[in-house]
Amino acid sequence: MMPSRPSVDRALLAIILLVVASSAIRFWLSLGVDAPWIAPDEQLYGLLGRSLVAGDGLTVLGEQIPYYSLVYPLLVGLPFAWTGLEEGVRTVQLVQALAMSLTAVPVFLWARPIAGPRWALAAAGLTVLIPGLVYSGLLMSEALYYLVATLAVWALAACLERPTFVRQSCLLGAVALAFGTRLQAVGLAGTILLALGLVAVAERSLAPFRRLLLTLAVLGAGAALWVAFRVRAGGLGELVGAYAPLVEADEYSLGDIAQSLAWQTGAMALLTVAVPLVALGIIAWEMLRGREYDPGVRALVASALAYAVVTLLVVGAFASRFVEHVTERQLLSVAPPIFVVFAVWLRRGAPRPQPTTSIVAFAVAAAALLLPLDRVTTPAAYADAPSMISLEQLSRHLDQAAFEGVYAGALALLLLAAVLLPRRAAPVLPIVVALALGGASLVASIEIRDRSQTERERTFAGVPVDWIDAAGERDVALLVTDERFWPSTWEMLFWNETIRKVVRLRGAESPGLVPQEVATVRRDGVLEARSGIDLEPRAVAAPTGTSIVGEEVASLPASFEQAGMVLWRVEPPLRMSRRITGLRPNGDLYGDEAARIEVFGCEPGELQLTLLGKQGLPTRIRSGTTILAERAIPPGGVWRVGVPAPENADGTGRCVYVLETDGLVGSTRVEFVRG
């Protein structure tokens, strides 16, 4: 008889139910998320995926994009091959909820032989509770890399324990899959080397390196082939694909890297709720002293510790130059291996040798307490650090001193429990960690849902997202003029497949890798591309402040924060007739601002304005230093004024008018009526 079999079977059933429940809950929470939200990452992955499954490779608007990922765009793109855009996004959210939840399976299978089924289930449960699973509702590679990286680290641990040919083949396959999913996986090479070094120290032998010679040789050959291929494709800058700015940036500062590394370590403490890190530190120290006799645990600890250290170094260096807060989303995959170590520690009765335990707990506390809360708990960090969202929300309800006191007090209680709680009460620790993770995860899900909905409303003002496609035009150009927030460009590209070209006025902001023509405007309004290519689209979508010579086909109203848009059927050549800058989306003008009205191909006619008085202070219309008209519009009053074009306006030049006020004035019409 095998009395343990029923409990194992129950554990397997429990892990299946856990994955199903987690997938269902995550997908349900995703239904309210208006993805894509994080620009330009989400939109770019979606566009690359659709292009890939259509057989056009990794391209956007027909142009090749530097390498980001291959596997993830394929995952994102497949649903769009047989569904519409909105249905495709929902399908991706369902697939990603399952993918991230499935990470519980390798965690369970990894932990079960060395921690037992009960604690293996606990580790699996913590794996699906972290706030980072909110990325399952977004088009971000984290949603797949969480699972893939966990598989790779598990495969590494299996090789360190018993490096058979099959296991090494699985490790190489997992590393290749991870690298195909996300370039961050380049750090796995360093992880393998460091893990081998840790095991070598624990065993007081170099034998671990000899046992994995096959893996090291294949990785070396693969790296050489990659370097040769990328250099041939475009030089040294192509080695890291789309992340070339990382190596082209100015010299990194060691001080900045050290500070960033400290911040990211603190973020990892919060990501895991600190206690599992204490467990990792205790067992790792005992292993390095040669006191860990279970080869499976040695392999686990070496893999988990090496992966965490290398990931922190890579992310810390990156963030020191490009992120002003913590970037938790690049740290997510360090959590599952640490939870497996936590399960082993609990299975052993939570051993806490002194002074090791106190030193480790102090180090974890220092990392968390050194986090600059005013920098990392801000709405700007939401997209990068979902664990910080609950802290930011708490900070809204407390003054700074009280908030910092609550934060430090909660952290102290948590770590004191990890150090001093009696062994028989140790099962309370994973429950506390689970409650903290679950609560933070729920808060993050709700906030990202609300933020994404707000962004959708800000961009599309309640109209269908495919408003350009719905107008029936083809060969549409998107004109970027700085009158709308730059993420709008990516939103329009993602949802409207009839956009074939992006034209950006010189000086306008358009971050990301979107292919675009940079154009200047001649005095007669004709747009000229700096590349010399003729701009002859059939239709142009432009902000409402910019009028195009042609026929208005459709419009997008202004939202609460940004200007609307108009789709024009172009009368060749592509020309502007008028451009207005400086007015708020609702037409208001404040006293510390000025509106500029440019009329191209200016000819006899009249600038006609309808202005609304709000404060009764003087409002002026001028050209250069000459005041053409002025009035103090009484509150609630209306000033309808017409300013004639200059006498020398002959249709070849440009007229420039400036509207300014000493207080606050509204506007409902600003138009140049040609004579």
Q: Given this model, what pLDDT does residue 1 score?
A: 41
CB under 8 Å to 284, separation ≥6 — which residues? 198, 301, 305
For all residues of the chain together, what is the average pLDDT? 90
Q: Given this model, what pLDDT does residue 2 score?
A: 45
Q: Is 507 exposed, middle or buried (0-12, 13-18, 19+ CB in 10 A)?
A: exposed
Residue written as token pair 């407390």: 398
Closest Cα to residue 336, out of 106, 143, 72, 114?
A: 106
Closest Cα to residue 43, out of 351, 496, 477?
A: 496
Amino acid identity of residue 79, one-letter, is P
Q: Given this model, what pLDDT does residue 397 score?
A: 87
Q: How confident is the model at residue 376 (pLDDT cuts 50, 70, 90)?
A: confident
Q: How confident is the model at residue 235 (pLDDT cuts 50, 70, 90)?
A: low
Q: Is 452 exposed, middle or buried (0-12, 13-18, 19+ CB in 10 A)?
A: buried
Residue written as token pair 């005013």: 374
Measured between its terminal Cα atoms, the distance across the chain in Å is: 100
* 143-160 pLDDT, tens digit each: 999 999 999 999 999 999
Average pLDDT over residues 18-25: 96
pTM, rounded to two decimals = 0.91
- Percentage of the chain modeled with pLDDT above 90: 70
Q: Given this model, what pLDDT does residue 241 score?
A: 53
Lowest mean pLDDT among 37-51, 253-267, 514-528: 253-267
- Greater pLDDT, 318 or 496: 496
CATH of 582-675, one of 2.60.120.260, 3.40.50.720, 2.130.10.10, 3.40.980.10: 2.60.120.260
Average pLDDT over residues 33-58: 93
**Is residue 381 a contact partner of residue 394, using CB atoms and an 8 Å limit?**
no
Domains in the chain: boundaries: 5-454, 461-577, 582-675
Closest Cα to residue 103, out of 188, 184, 164, 18?
A: 18
**Is residue 569 a contact partner of residue 553, using CB atoms and an 8 Å limit?**
yes
Distance between CA atoms of residues 204 and 289, nearest Å: 10
Q: Given this model, what pLDDT does residue 251 score?
A: 62
* 242-269 pLDDT, tens digit each: 555 555 555 667 877 888 888 899 999 9
Instruction: Report whether pLDDT(238) > 80.
Output: no
Q: Which two tokens stand for residue 160?
A: 């360190």
Looking only at the bridges linking them, the beta strands covering 517-521 and 550-556 are unpaired
* 283-316 pLDDT, tens digit each: 999 999 988 889 999 999 999 999 999 999 998 8
Instruction: Report whether pLDDT(197) > 90.
Output: yes
Q: Given this model, what pLDDT does residue 459 score?
A: 94
